[in-house]
Amino acid sequence: MNLYITILLISILFGITANVFQFVINDKWNKIILIALAFAIVIIYGIAFNFSNLSWQLLFVIFISCYLFQLKGAIFSAIVSWLIVTLQAEANLLILTSYIIFAIFIGMATQFYEKKSKQQERWLSTLMTQSKQLDVFREVSLAMQQTLQLDKLLQIILVSVTAGHGLGFNRAMIFLKSSEKNQLNGIMGIGPMNANEGFGTWERLAKSNLKLLDIIKLNYDKDAIDPQLNALIKSISIDLDNQTILEKALRNGIPYNVEQIDKTDHSQQLFLNFFQMQAFAVIPLLNQGKQIGVLVIDNIVNQQPITEDDIDSVIPLANQAAIAIEHANLYEQIENMALKDGLTGLLNQRSFENYSNNLFSSAETTKNPLSIVILDIDSFKHFNDTNGHLLGNEVLIELAAILQNSVREQDIAFRFGGEEFIVLLPNTKEDKAVLVGERIRENIEKATFPSEEKQPNGTLTVSVGVASTEKLYFDTINNLIDAADNALYQAKSLGKNKVVLYKEDSSHE
């Protein structure tokens, strides 16, 4: 009985020793110590019981070695076990052969099990990654369906790429191809300027425990998103006539993973200098072969290398983003067409209704008066009858350009219809409005128009009517327009080519 207790105590002591060592040495040595302790316990047991059943007990050690070191460990333990048995009896090749066969069988079975386990882990990891990506795409699609505003779409894309509940990159930037020049213009980015700033952002997001859609909604205020980073991005234009990694990605229509900065590449040197990028990936944004722009991603905070799998996870989102951006651009073009005069490029009557109602409702008679200028081309019917409507259209285009250059930055010019134009002057008193009207009239009179010598006065002129809420009360915007229109007709009756300010009459007493 005492012998059993002694063996039990020795086993417990060995177990405690093994547990102590596992905290101070690496995993490999922990395994070696465990096998050595197993051999020691078997030998102690053999000494206590005259080595009866020793050859069978050593099979347990071989099994442990196989589990810890697979086939190589099992064969090594088989040879050591045979040597131990040999020391107690004469050499027996049958035992050695049995040990090796047992080791090979267990080792191969263990390797097969390990291989299957790792394969299942990879499948599970891939499945979880794909499931997360599908969730991201679903949430992004849902968010994109709720807006056609380009700024909001870009934010949705960038947040999806950088958020922890999204694809999880540290930083992302979008450069869109200009419709006028062969260049990429920096539009928007999300992420830190440096690694230290990035750690602070990660900590705040982790504490907030927000979902992707929540983060997207919070980031709709574009002026609040990384203002320093965005100011820098918007200052960048990259010429596509020069060969850079961005031009190459767009031209070939494939992503590129830049693992080390090539300082001979202007764009890469720029990213290094401006954003401290040591490595990054470029994903082209294409829609049916049309070049929309590029998405640039990097990991400035955790310095994690961007893998091919990482890039593959971004490509579907980039394709979806390209389609959404193109739709937003088309929508904006349609909106502009609907709100602008097709001939002169000025805002049209529909736009005037929106602007005028908003400005009139917010205007205060004394503090923020709203003034309005209406001008009409003098004897324009005579011009069209004499020279034809095509030349008349040229005059309207030139006059609109002069009008646009004659008003102040805060003023808004419209083509109201035919040869009539209107200018809204927010926060403008009547004396300033008259000065603006006079400047418009004078600039048009001085300009040279085709065939203007055929006009009654030998030159093309306009009559101008001005009205303001500064000193007069008007119930509606239409009453203010009528007042300016009355002043215009008074200018016509006084001989044309004049500016008249609407004065109070009996209807406004």
- Which residues does the annotation mark as catalytic? 419
Task: Extract the tokens encoding 462.
Answer: 């306009």
How far apart, in Å, do the first and last CA atoms of the chain sit? 123
For residue 137, count CB atoms less than 10 angstroms from its CB and return exposed for 0-12, middle for 13-18, buried for 19 or more.
middle
Beta bridge partners of 423: 373, 413
Question: Rounded distance, CA 209 to CA 266, Å?
Answer: 40
> Is residue 199 within 8 Å of residue 301, measured between CB atoms?
yes
- Nearest CA among 325, 171, 279, 173 for reference residue 236: 173
State the DSSP code for 222: G
Length of the chain equals 509
> Is residue 208 within 8 Å of residue 144, measured between CB atoms?
no
Q: Where are the beta strands (DSSP E) in 226-321?
A: 237-239, 256-258, 280-287, 290-298
What 3-state DSSP class applies to 505? coil
Task: Kindly calculate the radius of gyration of the chain based on its CA atoms and give it in whole angstroms.
Answer: 41
Question: Rounded distance, CA 193 to CA 329, Å?
Answer: 29
Angle at 139 between CA 256 and CA 189, to 5 degrees: 45
Q: Which residue has the tokens 């590129």?
A: 256
